[in-house]
Amino acid sequence: MERSRVLLEAARIIRERSEELATMETINNGKSIFEARVDIEISWQTLEYYAGLAGSMAGQHVQLPGGSFGYTRREPLGVCVGIGAWNYPFQIACWKSGPALASGNAMVYKPSPFTPITVVLLAEIFREAGAPPGLFNVVQGGASTGEFLSKHPDVAKISFTGSVPTGSKIMEMASKGIKPVTLELGGKSPLIIFSDSDLENAVNGAMMANFLTQGQVCCNGTRVFVQSNILQKFTEEVVKKVKKIKIGDPLLEDTRMGPLINRPQLEKVFAFIKGAKEQGAKVLTGGEPYIPEDQKLKAGFYMTPCVLGDCKDDMTCVKEEIFGPVMSILPFDTEEEVLERANNSTYGLAAGVFTRDIQRAHRVVASLQAGMCFINNYNVSPVELPFGGYKKSGFGRENGQVTIEYYSQLKTVCVEMGKVESVF
């Protein structure tokens, strides 16, 4: 209950300061203030949710013959390290610290060097909320700092959010110390639109699946499979909507797309679009540098959101994670065919299906190789639901009750009520 009170107070402070925190997150990352507000809301909800679980953590009591019994205790791991990506800086820190602190651990958190600011505010908020000094710590730095923390003998667990290559290195370092890891890695998720979908919903779902946070979202449904008989109508509607996305100063109320995180990321996205064109894809809209009118924004890393048509499964833009505002549209004919193509990826973070046929919806998600599946929506993140990947998208989960298991260890106590029967 003591941990619960600290988390609830931290959630209250975040709620009270949400406008200031959202503004800082926009400055930190470049995402629109509109989206940053949602991130902050999800963040305090996360702390409230784990505050609710903190007081009810319990083990099991197991009866054994002769009045003997056993019981289990759920115990903290110790010092947990959180290493975060730059796309949801404050929210990722709350997704990790909420369950870590609720379970009785301390946390050392390293944000991405591209977004160092808001997690420091989170640390101040935890202190103000009554967390003892040293319970939640922020260490700034890049790869070498992350490696130092991952190898440190006093660290009990590492929870990592980032790319597959870094995740693989972290797993290797953790293996030396036999430390548990949670890996929230990248994706190239499929979104399947059947012709019986509510078209307006499906189009809105595809927009949500591709263009939040300038397309820099791990679970984005960037391979949009559309049943051939609605391909033309769907594509027209999506292109119309994408052209209307308001790009510009992310601190303005009506902006929906700010700049990408940095110059290398922008150039990487343009290289994917160039490669897509060379491989035969057609740019239906966007994919160009965007120079805002406002003088002070001219050096920003802006681009117009892009839709690619005439895509094929073996194109690089369809196989690899772009991590930018680029949607690839792929036609399909049958359920069987689309399932095989959707699963033909080394990733397995998320997947989505739009259909009015509820039996088909459940049949399809049961066959999809992805940790987070959406039916008739995409990219909603309720804290009550576990989130995480299959295959190279990682393992372990964030959010939901199950995450307590990733931040605690189980002790079994066996109690003898009779005499010791020695075999010697």
Ligand X SMILES: NC(=O)c1ccc[n+]([C@@H]2O[C@H](COP(=O)([O-])OP(=O)(O)OC[C@H]3O[C@@H](n4cnc5c(N)ncnc54)[C@H](O)[C@@H]3O)[C@@H](O)[C@H]2O)c1
* Candidates 35-43, 166-174, 203-211, 278-286; binding stretch for ligand X (CB under 6 A): 166-174
- Of 255 and 393, the one with the shorter C-beta distance to ligand X is 393
Does 385 participate in binding ligand X (rule CB under 6 A)? no
Of the candidates 218, 315, 339, 370, which one interacts with ligand X according to CB under 6 A? Answer: 218
Cα separation values, 357 from 19, 189, 350, Å:
41, 21, 20
Q: How far apart are CA 167 and CA 198, in angstroms?
A: 38
Q: Which of 147, 145, 158, 173 is nearest to 78 (CA)?
A: 158
Instruction: List the structure tokens of 352.
Output: 């989505």
Residue 278 annotated to the active site: no
**Pick 41 or 313: Cβ nearer ligand L3577AWF:** 41
Q: Where are the beta strands (DSSP E) in 139-238?
A: 155-161, 181-184, 190-193, 223-227
Distance CA 23, CA 82 (A): 24
Can residue 150 be called a binding residue for ligand X (CB under 6 A)? yes
Token output for 283: 């740019």
Pick from ligand X, ligand L3577AWF, none: which does 91 bind, CB < 5 to 8 A by kind? ligand L3577AWF
76-135 residues in contact with ligand X (CB under 6 A) are 83-87, 110, 112-113
CA distance 384 to 308: 34
Which residue's CB is nearer to ligand L3577AWF, number 91 or number 265?
Answer: 91
Q: How many residues bind ligand L3577AWF (CB under 6 A)?
A: 9
In the DSSP assignment, the letter for residue 414 is E
Q: For 156, left (φ over 0), alpha (ψ -120 to 50), or beta? A: alpha
Is 129 a binder of ligand L3577AWF (CB under 6 A)? no
**Which residue from 170, 284, 372, 404 is in contact with ligand X, where contact means CB under 6 A?**
170
Catalytic residue among 25, 35, 48, 184: 184
Question: Shortest Cβ distance from residue 151 to ligand X (Å)?
Answer: 9
Which residues, numbered 221-280, are part of the site for ligand X (CB under 6 A)? none
| Cα angle for residues 349, 286, 314 (degrees, 5° grid) | 45
Pick between residue 155 and residue 338 the one whose CB is nearest to ligand X. 155
Please report, as a single letter, which amino acid is at residue 384: E
Q: How far is CA 131 from CA 106, 247, 363, 404, in A?
A: 10, 40, 46, 19
CA distances from 132 to 2, 81, 135, 137, 149 (A): 11, 17, 6, 11, 21
C-beta separation of 203 from 193 below 8 A: no
Q: Which stretch binds ligand X (CB under 6 A): 69-77, 117-125, 160-168, 239-247?
A: 160-168
Residues in 298-317 at the binding interface with ligand X, rule: CB under 6 A: none
When the beta carbons of 6 and 40 are compared against ligand L3577AWF, the nearer one is 40
Minimum CB distance to ligand X, residue 64 (Å): 42
The residues in 50-89 that bind ligand L3577AWF, with binding defined as CB under 6 A, are 87-88
**Shortest distance, CB of residue 318 to ligand X, whole angstroms?**
16
Given candidates 131, 218, 306, 368, which one binds ligand L3577AWF under the rule CB under 6 A? 218
Taking the CA atoms of the chain, what radius of gyration do you get in angstroms?
A: 23
Note whether 166 binds ligand L3577AWF by CB under 6 A: no
Residue nearest to ligand X (CB): 146
Q: Do residues 238 and 208 touch, judged by C-beta distance below 8 A?
A: no
Q: How far is the CB of 411 from ligand X (least distance, A)?
A: 30
- Measured at the CA of 47, the angle between CA 44 and CA 51, to 5 degrees, comes to 140
Q: Convert residues 322-361 into a mask of x (bound to ligand L3577AWF by CB under 6 A) and - (unbound).
A: ----------------------------------------
Choice between 6 and 185, CB closer to ligand L3577AWF: 185
Instruction: Identify the DSSP state of 178.
Output: T
Residue 327 and residue 304: Cα distance in Å, rounded? Answer: 12
- Distance between CA 221 and CA 298 in Å, rounded? 30
Q: Residue 234 or residue 378: which is nearer to ligand X going by CB?
A: 378
Contact of residue 125 among ligand L3577AWF, ligand X, none (CB under 5-8 Å per partner type) = none
Backbone angles phi, psi at 268, to 5 degrees: -65, -40
Task: Based on the shown chain and the rule CB under 6 A, indicate whether residue 217 belongs to the binding site for ligand L3577AWF.
Answer: yes
Catalytic residue list = 184
Residues in contact with ligand X by CB under 6 A are 83-87, 110, 112-113, 142-143, 146-147, 150, 161-163, 166, 169-170, 184-187, 218, 321, 323, 349
- Residues forming the site for ligand L3577AWF (CB under 6 A): 87-88, 91-92, 95, 217-219, 381
